[in-house]
């Protein structure tokens, strides 16, 4: 049965993986015959809380989606106005994205008001319930939000387990992060290197995405200093904007004498260039110190690239070790060991062939089905 669905969360003109995901999910709901619109932010973060250079993308809005900028994350009068309007509109399903305790008051208040219509079912898509970078008040803010929803879809078992600390009876479903298939097609590796002005005979590892301390770039840099890797024609591309102070990383590069072997492409990578980086790389490395799930993994799956992840959070749930890549402990020796094995034993062809089958598990249809199953369970 066709449903009216409203999504509240990041979307155009905001940039990043959350916005891209919400837009792709809305598209899939539409593909399944549902009526969908997205309400995103007039202000997502105050400037003082935003670590990057800009919150916005350039270019036109997606023509096939209805996106309105309505929500102000810090204005309670706005929350009341938005919540009461949507309460009167009575969508069948409200999908609300939760990724940061800072959003708890705004989203929690809006959801409370909407639920008063006794019709709309509010289901959260949770990236994190307990954040990677903890701050005072996180527990209180998340508790406020968790009391405002009817159900939840989690993308990793660790997040699903975290629900019990707030509401053990909450209807829920587990569905892995679907493929990020909206970044174009894989390019010929030589052509991708040419477009990025890389050396054609050098092999490249890729660290991709916003640089935050919990993502373990420092561990990977120490691994790159391993004398075994120094002997290989391998360089590391760091592609993504610093969302933390860059000085400690730049100092580490200098101390480890890595400036010639690590390429810093640390501006924001626009969507239309993502395929260049993944196509040029042999192995995508995610040396995270903590994690729930990662959109980078699902971009890697789309481009059929071997991946190395650390054994934290939900990363190991979706990377079969030694089949399409590696699951290792978050330390430089384990990461270096895996990279050496990858090249010395020529694993690339076999891993990429296995990915073609493994990636079939991560469809957007399954994510839509997860939401509808929770919707039905709520009753």
Average confidence (pLDDT) per 10 residues, the chain, 379 residues:
96 91 97 97 78 70 94 97 98 96 97 98 94 82 97 93 94 95 94 98 96 96 97 97 95 97 94 96 96 86 97 89 97 98 98 96 96 95
Give which of 59, 51, 72, 45 is closest to 13, Cα–Cα: 59
Is residue 227 exposed (0-12), middle (13-18) or buried (19+ Cβ within 10 Å)? exposed
Is residue 311 exposed (0-12), middle (13-18) or buried (19+ Cβ within 10 Å)? middle
Fold match, 4-178+363-378 / 189-361: yes
Q: What is the pLDDT of residue 54?
A: 63
Q: Is 341:347 a contact under the CB 8 Å cutoff?
A: yes
Q: What is the pLDDT of residue 16?
A: 84
Rounded to the nearest 10 degrees, the angle between the axes of helix 104-115 and helix 76-89 is 30
Q: What is the pLDDT of residue 132?
A: 66
Phi/psi at 339 (nearest 5 deg)? -65, -40
Is residue 125 exposed (0-12), middle (13-18) or buried (19+ Cβ within 10 Å)? buried
| H helix intervals, 231-347 | 247-255, 274-280, 295-302, 315-318, 332-344
Instruction: Report the alpha-carbon distance of residue 360 to residue 365 in Å, rounded.
Output: 11
Q: Which residues of 319-353 are buried (b: 16+ CB within 10 A; e: fewer)?
A: beeeebbbbbebebebbbbbbbebbeeebeeebbe
Q: Is 140:109 a contact under the CB 8 Å cutoff?
A: no
Q: 189-361: which CATH topology?
A: Rossmann fold (3.40.50)
Q: From residue 198, how far is each of 201, 280, 306 by CA, in Å? A: 9, 9, 20
Q: What is the pLDDT of residue 290?
A: 86
Predicted structure pTM score: 0.84
Instruction: Report the alpha-carbon distance of residue 111 to residue 83 in Å, rounded.
Output: 7
Q: What is the pLDDT of residue 302?
A: 96
Q: What is the pLDDT of residue 287?
A: 97
Class in CATH terms, 4-178+363-378: alpha beta
| Domain regions of the chain by residue span | 4-178+363-378, 189-361
Q: What is the pLDDT of residue 1?
A: 84
């Amino acid at each position: 049965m066709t449903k009216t669905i409203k999504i509240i969360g990041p979307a155009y003109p905001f940039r990043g993986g959350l916005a891209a995901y919400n837009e792709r999910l809305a598209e899939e709901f539409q593909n399944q015959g549902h009526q969908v619109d997205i309400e995103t932010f007039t202000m997502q973060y105050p400037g003082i809380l935003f670590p990057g250079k800009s919150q916005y993308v350039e270019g036109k809005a997606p023509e096939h989606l209805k996106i309105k900028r309505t929500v102000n994350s810090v204005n309670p009068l706005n929350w009341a106005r938005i919540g009461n309007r949507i309460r009167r509109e009575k969508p069948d399903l409200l999908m609300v994205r939760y990724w940061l305790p800072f959003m708890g008051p705004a989203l929690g208040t809006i959801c409370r008001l909407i639920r008063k219509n006794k019709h709309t079912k509010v289901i959260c898509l949770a990236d994190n319930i307990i954040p990677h970078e903890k701050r005072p008040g996180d527990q209180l803010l998340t508790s406020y939000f968790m009391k405002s929803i009817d159900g939840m879809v989690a993308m990793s078992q660790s997040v699903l387990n975290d629900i019990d600390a707030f509401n053990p009876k909450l209807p829920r479903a587990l569905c892995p992060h679907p493929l990020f298939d909206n970044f174009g097609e894989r390019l010929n590796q030589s052509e991708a290197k040419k477009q990025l002005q890389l050396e054609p005979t050098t092999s490249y590892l890729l660290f991709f995405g916003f640089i935050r301390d919990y993502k373990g770039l420092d561990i990977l840099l120490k691994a790159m200093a391993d004398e075994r890797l120094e002997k290989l024609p391998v360089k590391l591309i760091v592609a993504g904007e610093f969302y933390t102070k860059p000085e400690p990383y730049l100092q580490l590069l200098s101390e480890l004498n890595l400036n010639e072997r690590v390429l810093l492409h640390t501006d924001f990578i626009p969507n239309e260039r993502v395929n260049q980086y993944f196509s040029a790389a042999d192995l995508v490395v995610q040396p995270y110190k903590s994690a729930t799930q990662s959109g980078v993994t699902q971009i890697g799956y789309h481009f059929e690239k071997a991946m190395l992840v650390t054994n934290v959070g939900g990363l190991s749930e979706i990377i079969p070790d030694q089949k399409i890549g590696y699951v290792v402990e978050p330390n430089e020796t384990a990461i270096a060991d895996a990279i050496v094995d990858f090249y010395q034993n020529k694993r690339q062809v076999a891993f990429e062939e296995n990915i073609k089958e493994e990636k079939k598990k991560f469809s957007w249809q399954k994510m839509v089905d997860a939401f509808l199953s929770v919707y039905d369970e709520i009753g």
